[in-house]
A = this chain, B = another copy of it.
């Protein structure tokens, strides 16, 4: 049973890549059946549907699987036309793809590096993360959301990242998202996270923090053996 729209989503509750796909489906009002993956024991369904990466999220639409969260979101946007996520204008569309790629290629590794490293390496990664988040801010060009007045492609691609950067900062005691140096990015983040559909779909903060603290402990233990 994959609901009225024939959609299944294989995901993991604490995965930001799953979350962004859920946000896209919810904003569109697409019904889907959600399958929680046990990541240390991946389901045969996941291995069958994403043999290349063996990673979540995977969207299955009437039996046809798709992987890679941004690719999935573009598919969702092209298949269900209500509430468009990408702008229609090719130049604006290119800008949205550019900033989403920038978030994934430049911000994610730097934030993750702050989380997984210690000492000088951690400091270096934190500086890089701050610098890249500041650059991401420039993509707002003074607008409320990346796409203008409503939440769109870049907002759902990048908002979890601001959220995660804050949590990482809290766990490893480093400020990555700074109200003083990046006020526009902070205001944007609040605007996205306060939007009802987005807010309703967020995992509980305490549970997420506990989960990430546990993950960090495990990483540090592995690094010191």
Contacts and interface: CB of A to CB of B under 8 A. Distances in A.
A98 B71 contact: yes
A101 interface: yes
Interface string A52-96: 100000000100101110011011001100000000001101100
A43 interface: no
B91 A61 contact: yes
B98 A90 contact: no
A135 to B, nearest CB: 6
Contacts of A93: 74-75, 78
Contacts of A98: 66-68, 71
A interface, size bucket? 20 to 34
A147 B67 CA distance: 18
25 contacts: A52-B135, A52-B138, A61-B91, A64-B91, A66-B91, A66-B94, A66-B98, A67-B98, A68-B97, A68-B98, A68-B101, A71-B94, A71-B97, A71-B98, A71-B101, A72-B94, A74-B93, A74-B94, A74-B97, A75-B90, A75-B91, A75-B93, A78-B90, A78-B93, A79-B90
Nearest to A99: B52
A12 interface: no
Contacts of A97: 68, 71, 74
A102 B71 contact: no
Given A68-B98, A79-B90, 17 more contacts: A52-B102, A52-B138, A61-B91, A64-B91, A66-B91, A66-B94, A66-B98, A68-B97, A71-B94, A71-B98, A71-B101, A74-B94, A75-B90, A75-B93, A75-B94, A78-B90, A78-B93
A48 to B, nearest CB: 14
Interface in A118-139: 135, 138
A69 to B, nearest CB: 11
Contacts of A91: 61, 64, 66, 75
Contacts of A79: 90
A16 B91 CA distance: 23
A130 to B, nearest CB: 15
A75 B86 CA distance: 13
